[in-house]
Chain A
Amino acid sequence: MTVVYYLWLREVKRYLRSRPQIIGSIAQPLLYLLVLGFGLGPVFAQSGQGSYLQFIAPGVVGMAILFTSIFSGIGLLWDRQFGFLKETLVAPVPRLQIMLGRTLGGATIASIQGALILVVCIIAGFRPQSLAALPLALAFMLLVGLVFAGLGTAVGSTLKDMQGFQLIMNFLVMPIFFLSGALFPLNNLPAALTIATRADPLSYGIDGLRGALIGVTQFGVATNLSVLAVVASGFLVLGAWAFSRIQV
């Protein structure tokens, strides 16, 4: 357990020390929040759906967590050639512990990042329904972080070169984001899109966040929590398996 803790601590320390990276990673969600939030706001209000800023803020928080956690996993590709990962692979420690430390660290920094974006959203005018709902929102953030840190680890362990990275970005990360309901409500969609959005684990994370933060939910808290927990466990197992097969 000490090893898991040390590796987790390493990830968190590195994150907290890299100010430029933290600021840089706020920029993109902020762009979505402000430009789409205010740009599409009037149309959204006209169709009787209320404030778009209120609607999109949880989506932007989810997006920040998705990107941060999945990239922490894909960073493996770099780390195993030039970084510290190789040092851990020759240490007398089971691979599972190394993977857990790294992945839990990735999920933690993703959640911190999400919380940071939530603060930014509040500054921009977003109003959560009550402070009492914040712990539940944090729980959803951590779950989403776990789901995608696990997936990222699985992908990062399998990738062979940087070209694969573009592929993952365009065919995995962006679809997960766009199909998650971060930007539009998931009801009354064409059948194909409905199926795709139901298959996207991030949908349940963002719906959960929306439920906690603005009290609007499509699937219900219990469904969201259980789907995310199951998918997180599945991806963590998959990540651990892929990680155990890394040959440098």
Chain B
Amino acid sequence: MIHVTNLVKTFGEVKAVDDISFDVAAGEIFAFLGPNGAGKTTTIQMLTTLQRPTGGSMQLDGLDPVTQPLQARSRFGIVFQDPSLDSELTAYENMDLHGALYHVPRKIRRERTETLMKLFELWDRRDSMVKTYSGGMKRRLEIARGLLHTPRILFLDEPTLGLDPQSRNQLWTHVKHLNETEGVTVFLTTHYMDEAERTAHRIAIIDHGRIVAQGTAESLKQQTGAESLEGAFLALTGNTIRDERADSADQLRQIARMWRR
């Protein structure tokens, strides 16, 4: 379903993604784990047509995101690291707008919106402004929205960042359920090892833009002789803390936190 070969992305001197290759089969849940600045988000941005790769090739459901961006975009849904809902509109309006953007016919749009919002337990609050939603509800709404156009692939970029354990748990239950019932392929990144271990079928560990290991959680533990996935992760990526240079997005994020947006 996702096919990546020798993918490279450089920003000036820095190699954000350095020659990575991996495959994700249809119906699989695939997790990308890595320290800050390892290249997780950049990889997702290239796969989802937001960044152009410097080299290498990608295929999403047989389509190339670089040369066929419009077709490729209709095949996936995405939940970004930063919120991307319109908080001045109601939840229902957000869903409706998404449906319009993806050319979902009006009748189907209405039906799918109702089904998904009921599934994610948001239907009772459909006419509330998104700004009145809690963090967990917003995340659920974003996932529901990402599924409205029946994508074959769902990208989740650190979807549980800033959520309480209850919301995290509930979110992954939903994701697994969707994967089992609708057969959606899921590509996720997270910092929480337990989430990856519980949810993902296969895991790739990425560091300094390179994939240092991939396989099931079990096989990663065996490879490193560690007892837990966290142990395996630290064995593979080392204990040094990564000091990324704060970029403009980080600065904006700080301002956003200040204003609690």
List residues of A whose CB falls within 8 A of some B CB: 2-3, 6, 10, 13-14, 17-18, 78, 81-94, 160-162, 247-248
Q: Are A94 and B50 in contact (CB under 8 A)?
A: no
Q: What are 15 A-to-B residue pairs whose CB atoms are below 8 Å?
A: A6-B97, A81-B253, A82-B82, A86-B80, A87-B101, A88-B101, A90-B48, A90-B78, A91-B98, A91-B102, A92-B70, A92-B73, A92-B102, A162-B255, A247-B51
Contact of B251 among A84, A86, A162 (CB under 8 A): A162
List residues of B whose CB falls within 8 A of some A CB: 45, 48-52, 70-71, 73-74, 76, 78, 80, 82-86, 88-89, 93, 97-98, 100-103, 145, 248-249, 251-253, 255-256, 261
A82/B49 contact (C-beta < 8 A), A92-B73, A92-B74 known: no
Top 6 A-B pairs, shortest CB-CB distance: A91-B101, A161-B248, A84-B86, A92-B73, A92-B74, A87-B84
Contacts of A2 in B (CB 8 A): 100, 103
Beyond known contacts A2-B103, A83-B83, A92-B70: 4 more, CB 8 A cutoff = A87-B98, A92-B73, A92-B101, A248-B51
Contacts of A162 in B (CB 8 A): 251-252, 255
Q: Are A161 and B251 in contact (CB under 8 A)?
A: yes
Q: How many angstroms between the C-alpha atoms of A87 and B99 in the bound complex?
A: 12
Q: Are A83 and B252 in contact (CB under 8 A)?
A: no
Q: Are A92 and B252 in contact (CB under 8 A)?
A: no
CB distance from A61 to the nearest CB of B (A): 26
Q: How many angstroms between the C-alpha atoms of A89 and B82 in the bound complex?
A: 14
Q: How many angstroms between the C-alpha atoms of A13 and B89 in the bound complex?
A: 8
Contacts of B74 in A (CB 8 A): 92
Contacts of A82 in B (CB 8 A): 82-84, 252-253, 256, 261
Contact of A94 among B45, B70, B83, B97 (CB under 8 A): B70
Question: Most chain-A Cβ atoms within 10 A of its Cβ — which of B74, B101, B248, B256?
Answer: B101
Question: Most chain-B Cβ atoms within 10 A of its Cβ — which of A6, A92, A161?
Answer: A92
